[in-house]
Amino acid sequence: MATASAAELAARLDRLPMTRHIWVLVTLISLGGCFEFYDLFLTAYIAPGLLKAGYFTPESLGPFAVLAPYGVAGIGTFVFAMFAGLFVGAIFLGHFADRYGRRTVFTFSLIWYSITTAIMAFQTSGFGVDLWRFIAWVGIGIELVTIDTYVSELVPSSHRGRAYAYNQFLQFLAVPLVAFLAWLLVPHGPLGLDGWRWVVLIGSAGAIFIWFIRLSLPESPRWLARRGRLADAERVVGGIEDRVMTQSGAKLPPPGPRQRDEGGEGTFAEIWQPPYGRRAILMSVFNFFQTLGITALPPGSRHC
């Protein structure tokens, strides 16, 4: 049998019903994204513990103290390190997922997160904490731009809205979890270890657990097809079809009209051209102001 084209494979994926198997795939990807939200929101919740430890004095911050004239001092350097790492990872390394694959980069990002945050948890100066915060968020920045792409390429196009809503619901569950853990641990020092370190280490250990669970995730068949690996893409699509058909208990509907074959990679300029330009501007403005809300710190934590 001749290997299907990229357009044929996409049409076969898009005609699938949303059975348990596809929801499991979305769940596994979303659980990995939980650690991005966990780490993002722990910024404010562990701030009192970091300040109590005296890590954000000019002497402890070392080179990061040069940011003070620009209004970035104390715990503000911790926030700066996070977003600086996110910027570097997303802008300069985000294309790794297009080059090496969604599954590969996604798995690598989880390992990166686990190792670097564990190292950060044992730092004894503001400079060390900020440095490893920056390094950790370079990896998270790569994952950030991979998750949505991964979900969209595994889910049938007519069900992506529901899949993204579910994805966001699962990821945001990390917010009350980290708040509860910080409330429970930060004021205390279980087993002689500062509470804020426990909060960080719990996230690090959890990412390793999810990494093992997600070893069963397939590579994106759409990515494989665009890279010319049609035989590999065929195997992935065939495996998904078999599981979906078993769970639905019915024959699959015939594929819809084939879209044109997608080849090559897009360019940055395409984002600002119709029909995407206005959407890109709207979402850029939205995310700019969303960041202001996310980085708001609790009263009393802004200064040393």
User: Hey, what are 203's tokens?
Assistant: 């996230």
Under CATH, which number does the domain 20-214 receive? 1.20.1250.20
Q: What pLDDT digit, counting tens, does each position of 230-239 carry? A: 999 999 999 9
**How large is the average pLDDT for residues 66-74?**
89
Which contiguous run of DSSP H or E holds residue 48? helix 47-52
- Asked if the peptide bond before residue 275 counts as cis, ω within 30 degrees of 0, the response is yes
The pLDDT score that the predictor gives to residue 266 is 67
Q: How far apart are CA 230 and CA 224, in angstroms?
A: 7
DSSP track, 117-175: HHHHTT--SHHHHHHHHHHHHHHHHHHHHHHHHHHHHHS-GGGHHHHHHHHHHHHHTHH
Q: How far apart are CA 146 and CA 29, in angstroms?
A: 10
DSSP state of 92: H
DSSP state of 215: G
Q: What pLDDT digit, counting tens, does each position of 110-149 carry? A: 899 999 999 999 999 999 999 999 999 999 988 888 999 9
Q: How far apart are CA 33 and CA 143, in angstroms?
A: 8
Does the predicted TM-score (pTM) go above 0.85?
Answer: yes
Q: How far apart are CA 78 and CA 297, in angstroms?
A: 11
The pLDDT score that the predictor gives to residue 2 is 53
Q: Give the sign of the dihedral formed by CA 200, CA 205, CA 209, CA 214.
A: positive
Domain boundaries, the chain: 20-214
Does the pLDDT value for residue 63 go beyond 90? yes
- Which residues, at least 6 apart from 18, have a Cβ–Cβ distance to it below 8 Å? 155, 156, 159, 162, 163
**Which residue's entry shows tokens 């790492």?**
85
The pLDDT score that the predictor gives to residue 193 is 95
Q: How far apart are CA 34 and CA 142, in angstroms?
A: 15
HSE value, Cβ hemisphere, 13 Å, CA-based, for 299: 0
Q: What pLDDT digit, counting tens, does each position of 184-218 carry? A: 999 998 999 999 999 999 999 988 888 787 778 99
SS3 content of the chain, % helix, strand, coil (to 5): 75, 0, 25
Work out the pLDDT band at 259, boundaries 50, 70, 90.
Answer: low
Work out the pLDDT band at 71, boundaries 50, 70, 90.
Answer: confident
Q: Which phi and psi (to 5°) does residue 222 adopt?
A: -70, -40
User: Hey, what are 177's tokens?
Assistant: 């979890």
Residue 117 in contact with residue 52, Cβ under 8 Å?
A: no
The pLDDT score that the predictor gives to residue 302 is 41
Residue 171 in contact with residue 67, Cβ under 8 Å?
A: no
Residue type, 165: A
Work out the pLDDT band at 32, boundaries 50, 70, 90.
Answer: confident
User: Hey, what are 84's tokens?
Assistant: 């600086």
